[in-house]
Amino acid sequence: MSQRVLLVNKFYYPRGGDCIVVLNTEALLRDNGVEAEVYAMKYPQNLMARYQSMFASEVNFGGGMGNMVRAMKRTLGLGDVRSNFEAVLDEYRPDVVHLHNVHSYLSPVVGELAHQRGIRVVWTLHDYKLLCPRYDCLLDGKPCERCHKGGKSAVLTHRCMKGSLPASAVAWFEALKWNRRRLEANTDLFVCPSEFMADKMRAGGFDSAKVKVLNNFLDPVKFAQYQAIDNTVPREDYYCFVGRLSPEKGVADLLAVASRLPYRFKVAGGGPLEAELRDKYSSCDNIEFLGMLDASGVVKVLTGARLSVIPSQWYENNPLSVVESLCAGTPVAGSQMGGIPELIGSENGVVFQAFDQEAMATAITMSMARRWNHSQIARQALERFGAKAHLRTLLKDIYGF
């Protein structure tokens, strides 16, 4: 009889990194004979799912006090999220409930309900929500760990949630309700995609025996595309950034550096800073904005580049931007933040100090002048981030099958 896994995430469409991991994991399990179904919040853009009629009703944190009250109840695990999830457990009877991004739009109550039935509960962490009520460990654009241990009142003091006291109060109540002891009691294993995150979880008081590291993997379609690349072909004369154009990604500093370097630079991605940055650097002939690209477009940019730059200014976990670049055989110049340094060694890139434009400029200049073994970079990355290796660890060490 096939083992059954229930994947739980707040959305069920390719909205962000957490959603993509869920979709890839679902496909990986099914392709290898493991039954997998999904539970999420109802949302217009969701994909079709077996239990979509039982999904939790949609909540919205904007648009007035009524919405805020409903959202507040959801964060506390109240309302139809309980009854609907229990109905899915009754019908599907999973062996494992695999949580992903469940705070706020769903609730950690789903893990508690599964645990009460004796179901194994594992939780892949995509951000730092269990340590930081804001989730990204940022305060005024700089790393912050005030809430990692003990109380979470700093989220109120600094109004960390969009500068709003009501929104920050919701995050504070949520953190009190779903505190470390309660989450730990109802979770068999916390899965961290990076050693950095695992270290932060342990430092925050979580039981080391319940913390396991498992890197994200490249989905088989992209894997095949990168595997088919001929890395003996000379690279084009440019370097690139592929990612979200937002403050925490450090892209503003990168463009400031790129504007005074002599190399061609391609920027792929969209985000809140896109219009501002396009306008500011419109007169720089060496900088090209490509906008949002589809998967094949990303592959094309990465495989043609001599270097990819990841200048993040927050605690990146296991960034897909680094993983894809390495699988393309493209070395990475990355900031010394979060899980980035553990992906980069002397043979596949260079690490520089975050927030330091001169260090970034030096790293780019040195990397552009160096002859890299692109074939070796790709071969090692594809072995490390392939689905087969991930599946073996997932089934044996995480699910216990």
How do the pLDDT tens digits run along the chain, 401 residues long? 579 999 999 999 988 889 999 999 999 999 999 999 999 999 999 999 999 999 999 988 776 777 778 878 888 888 999 999 999 999 999 999 999 999 989 999 999 999 999 999 999 999 999 999 999 999 999 999 999 987 899 999 999 998 888 888 888 988 999 999 999 999 999 999 999 999 999 999 999 999 999 999 998 888 999 999 999 999 999 999 999 999 999 999 999 999 999 999 999 999 999 999 999 999 999 999 999 999 899 999 999 999 999 999 999 999 989 999 999 999 999 999 999 999 999 999 999 999 999 999 999 999 999 999 999 999 999 999 999 999 999 999 999 99
Residue 60's pLDDT is: 83
Scanning 337-395, the segments in alpha helix (DSSP H) are 357-369, 374-384, 387-393
Cα 307 from Cα 301, distance rounded (Å) = 10
Q: What single-letter DSSP state applies at residue 299?
A: H
Q: Kindly report the CATH number that applies to the domain delimited by 220-384.
A: 3.40.50.2000
- pTM, 2 dp: 0.92
pLDDT on residue 221: 87
Residue 275 CB coordination number (10 Å)? 11
CATH topology of domain 4-217+386-398: Rossmann fold (3.40.50)
Q: Which residues contact 287 (CB under 8 A, 6 or more apart)?
A: 255, 258, 259, 265, 267, 281
CA–CA gap between residue 221 and residue 150 (Å, rounded): 43
**Domains 4-217+386-398 and 220-384 belong to one CATH topology:** yes
> What local confidence, expressed as pLDDT, does residue 278 receive?
97
R_g over Cα of the chain:
21
Quote the pLDDT of residue 220: 86
What are all long-range contacts of 335-341, with beta carbons under 8 Å and residues at least 24 apart? 335/250, 335/310, 335/311, 335/360, 337/143, 337/312, 337/313, 338/194, 338/196, 338/197, 338/312, 338/314, 339/193, 339/194, 339/195, 339/196, 339/197, 339/315, 340/310, 340/312, 340/316
CA distance 133 to 156: 10
For the chain, give every domain's residue range. 4-217+386-398, 220-384
Q: 3-class SS at 257?
A: helix
pLDDT at 66: 73
pLDDT at 1: 57
CA distance 58 to 10: 10
